[in-house]
Amino acid sequence: MKKLFTCEAVTKGHPDKICDAVSDALLDAILSQDENAHAAIETMAAYDSLFLVGEVHADAKIDYEGIVKDKLAAIGYADPRWGFDPSKITIITKIHEQSADIRQGVDLKEAIGAGDQGMMFGFACSETENYMPFAYETAQKLAKRLDEIKSEYPSLGPDGKTQVTVEYAEDGKIKRIAAIVVSNQHDEKADLNQIITLIKKEVIEQVIPSEYLDDDTKIFINPTGKFVIGGPYGDSGLTGRKLIVDTYGGYAYHGGGAFSGKDPSKVDRSAAYYLRYIAKNVVAAGLCDKISLQAAYVIGNTKPVSLNIDTFGTNRIAEEKIYALIAKNFDLSVSNIIEELDLRHQRYQDLAVYGHFGRSDVKTRFERTDKAELLRSQAEEM
C-alpha cells in the first residue's frame, strides 16, 4: 500500500488568514506602545462586516478601525473587485479590559505566570533544510508564490488555497509528489485556461523541484472551474481556524490553542514557539531525525507541570538522555521563554500567514539552531 500524506496552505487573502493577520496587526500595535500589555484579540469576517472581540490590558491608545482598514488594503482588498472593500465594510469592536482574575495569575511579583492552562507541542524533523515536513513546506511555498505574482497578474484575487500530497518510500524517504491542488480567486472576465497555464508556469514550476514530479502526478488547478466570489464574501473567516496550517500541517500533534492575537504571556503561543526551538535544536544536533515535545501549563504557574518527548524511534541516543539534555539546556518558565525569544518585540503579523515555523524569511529567535552544537558535544560526553 502506498504511504501518502497531504498538507494544505492558504494565501493571505483567505478569510481565516485575514482574521489572523488583523488580530496580529492589532497586537503589534498594542505591544509597540506597551511591551508588557496583555491581549487576546479575535477577529471574525463575514460578508460585509468585520467583528473585533477579546480582552486587552495595556497603556496604549489604538485606532482599531484604522489598523484594520490598512491591513485589509495591504492584503489586497483595496480593489473593490474582490468584494471586501475596507472603505465600505462595517467594523464592529467589542474589546474589553482583561479580567482581573486572569491578570492576577500572570503578573506575579518576581516572574510571569502562564496566562492559561493547556498543553502545547513543538516539532521538528529532518525532511527539509528548515526541519519541517516536506508536504507542509511545499504547500506553504506554493501559497506564498501565489501571493507574490498577484501584483504582476491582476486577474488573480487575494483568496487562494494550495494542497500537496507526498508519497513516501518504504524507508520513510520522500519518493515523489503524488498530487498538487491550487485554487485561486480570479476576475470574472479571466479565461480559466489562461489561469491554469499561468499557475502551472509561474507557481507550480517555480516551486516544485522537477525530480519530485512524474507523469502520474495529478495536478488540479481551480478544479470547480470558477472561483470569482472569494474572501469573506464567499466564506466567513475567524482567528485561529487554521491552526494546522499555522503549525505542521497535521504531520505533528497540536495542542489546540490559537496563536494570533495573543501576547506572549499566553503560553498557547509562547510555549509552542519555545518547544519548536527545542525540537529544532535537538534534530539539528543529530540526536534524532524527528521529535515531538509536549508541555502542559497551569494558569498562574511559572513553569510547566509536565514535559514529554517522542522521537518516533529515530533517536540515536536514549530518549532519557535527550530528555536530560533538554532539561539541562532549556528553561521552560514563562519569563525565560519571553526573554530568551524576545517575544515582546516580535513582529507577529509577519507570522500570521505562510505558517509560524520553518520561516527563513521572518526574523525570529525560535528558529535559531544556536544550541545544536552544545547539545551534540554534551551528548558525546554522556
pLDDT in tens, 177-229: 999 999 999 999 999 999 999 999 999 999 999 999 999 999 999 999 999 99
Helix (H) or strand (E) holding 148: helix 134-148
CB 113 within 8 A of CB 300: yes
Q: How many CB atoms lie within 10 A of CB 20?
A: 33
- pLDDT in the model for residue 288: 98
pLDDT beyond 80 at 116: no
pLDDT beyond 80 at 105: no
- pLDDT in the model for residue 63: 97
Q: Which residue has the cell 497531504?
A: 6
Direct distance between the N- and C-terminal alpha carbons of the chain, in angstroms, rounded to an integer: 41
Between CA 195 and CA 227 the distance in angstroms is 11
Strands 218-221 and 237-238, how do they pair? unpaired
CB 37 within 8 A of CB 59: yes
For the segment 97-103, the average pLDDT, to the nearest whole number, is 66
Q: Model-level pTM greater than 0.75? A: yes
Q: Which residue has the cell 505542521?
A: 248
- pLDDT in the model for residue 271: 97
Burial class, 224, CB count within 10 angstroms (exposed 0-12 / middle 13-18 / buried 19+): exposed
DSSP character string of 205-238: HHHS-GGG--TT-EEEESTTS---S-HHHHS-EE
Q: At what angle do helices 15-33 and 64-72 cross, to 10 degrees?
A: 130
Three-state DSSP class for residue 324:
helix
